[in-house]
Structure 1
Amino acid sequence: MDGTTATADDFFDRALVEEAVKKSGLLWVRPEGAVGDRPLWHAWHDGAVVLVGDGGEQPLHGLRAGGAAGVTVRSKDKGGRLVAFEARVAVLEPGGEAWQGAVEELKGKRLNAPDTDSMTERWAAECRVLRLEPVGAPSQRPGAMPEGAHLAAPAASPATTRQPIPAGLPKLVLGKLRRRG
């Protein structure tokens, strides 16, 4: 998305990335050299994705200054992949003008913060604020999606079960529906 001559496609791609990122609650980010994506909450500020992490916030393992990352944005209404792009990673220094602007955007997106009044100071002391600036045209967008579904098996967890539903459950649910109707 950087270049000297801009075309109508460049403007469309830029607008698509910006609107998709602004409307999405999570991004899927894959640091350069990593296997697999991780979901991260974010904000859009000054032409790039901004993230806060480490310390007491979301882990940003593998994202480093000067590195690259793959970013996938899902559609808010359908939940499917909408756009994917490569980004250049930069660390914003606490207290700087860019850091202040990014933090102001991120504060509005941070849900259930344990320390709303002193969150900015904690971020400056303990966390990293990163800027992921889109580079080049999106690798995936409407009309240019890969054929595969990109499905992945869920991570193993004792919280998930693969057992048949109890035999009496359909009768219980249907009985309630009949009594109401």
Structure 2
Amino acid sequence: MPEQPSASAAGSEAPWVPEPDFDAALIEEAAKKSGLVWLSPAGLSEEAAKGPDRSGPQAVWHVWHDGAVTVVAGGAEQPLPVWAVPGRVVEIGMRSKESGGRVISWLSQVELVVPGTPDWGAAAAALHAERLNLAEGDDYQRRWARESAILRMRPLGGAVPPEGGSEAARPVPTPATTLGRMPKMIGGVPKAKTRTQAPAQPKERRKGRK
């Protein structure tokens, strides 16, 4: 009979430690690598989701802050669909920055970050660090508190299995624009000149007189 391990040997083995949640790690990694996520309505019937104001998915820019997808919308900022309101459960799709293919989709309940709270100030600072084309001297905190909303979406659970399809959608009209004119080079980019050399002429030999 094979020998049984002694109690001392069994006690010396390292205790079993569960592995970290793979979906949660993948969500965080994908959110940090890409500045866009795609929002789709969740929990709506097929007929209700076909309306012009409920079509999805819609791309929005975000930052990953405090374990959540955090966005600022409304006013002069990006628009959000009417179903992406506090309390509504939405589906968030994340795509690879390199290939554009879907990496993972997950559900979240939209949460409003209340202005004037420490959470709001920290979220606004994180968004401001990644917000492009803000005018110099823009009092963004006062403006966002007055006319916009900061929303965050934490994962409710693991990944949602894809239903198929590319999820391609037309960009949503937005008042956001690039400040100022794009630089223009008069005459275009100068092209390198190629030198053409004339064929070498044979030198004439002069015969000297003896």
The two structures have a TM-score, normalised by structure 2, of 0.62
Q: Secondary structure at the match of 1:100?
A: helix
Aligned 1:60-99 pairs, distance under 5 A: 60-62=80-82, 63-99=84-120
The residue identity in structure 2 corresponding to 1:120 is Q
In the TM superposition, what is the alpha-carbon distance from 1:85 to its structure 2 partner? 0.5
Aligned partner of 1:38 among 58, 67, 83: 58
Deviation of 1:20 (Å): 0.2
Matching residue of 2:73: 53
How far residue 78 of structure 1 moved from its aligned partner, in angstroms, is 1.3
Q: Is the 8 A contact 2:67 2:154 kept in 1?
A: yes
Q: Show the counterpart of 1:24.
A: 34
Matches within 5 A, 1:130-141: 130-140=151-161
Whichever residue aligns with residue 60 of structure 1, its letter is L
Q: Is the 8 A contact 2:58 2:169 kept in 1?
A: no
* Aligned counterpart, 2:133: 112
Instruction: Tell me how far apart the structure 2 counterparts of residues 26 and 153 of structure 1 sit (CA, whole Å).
Output: 14
Q: Which has the larger radius of gyration?
A: 2
Report how many aligned residue pairs link the two structures: 145
Alignment partner of 1:124 is 2:145: yes
Two-structure CA RMSD over aligned residues (Å): 2.3
Letter of the 1:86 counterpart: L
The amino acid across from 2:140 in the alignment is M
SS in 2 for 1:15: helix
Q: Separation in 2 of the partners of 1:87 and 1:67?
A: 8
Distance (whole Å) between structure 1 residues aligned to residue 140 and residue 108 of structure 2? 27
| Structure 1, unpaired ranges of 5+ | 1-6, 156-178
Q: Out of 8, 13, 24, which is 1:14 matched to?
A: 24
1:79 Cα shift? 1.3
Q: Distance in 1 between matches of 2:60 and 2:169?
A: 19
Counterpart CA distance in 1 for 2:167 and 2:41 is 19
Distance in 2 of aligned mates of 1:74 and 1:12? 17
- Where 1:86 maps in the other structure, the secondary structure is strand
| Unaligned segments of structure 2, at least 5 residues | 1-17, 45-53, 172-193, 195-210
> What is residue 166 of structure 2 aligned with on the other side?
150
Measured at CA, do residues 154 and 97 of structure 1 come closer, stay the same or move farther in structure 2, by a change above 3 Å?
A: closer
| Post-superposition CA distance 1:154-180 (Å, at most 9, x none) | 58xxxxxxxxxxxxxxxxxxxxxxx9x
Query: Contact 2:68/2:153 (CA < 8 Å) preserved in 1?
Result: yes
Partner Cα distance (1:126, 1:153) in 2: 27
Q: Percent of aligned positions with the same letter in both sequences?
A: 40
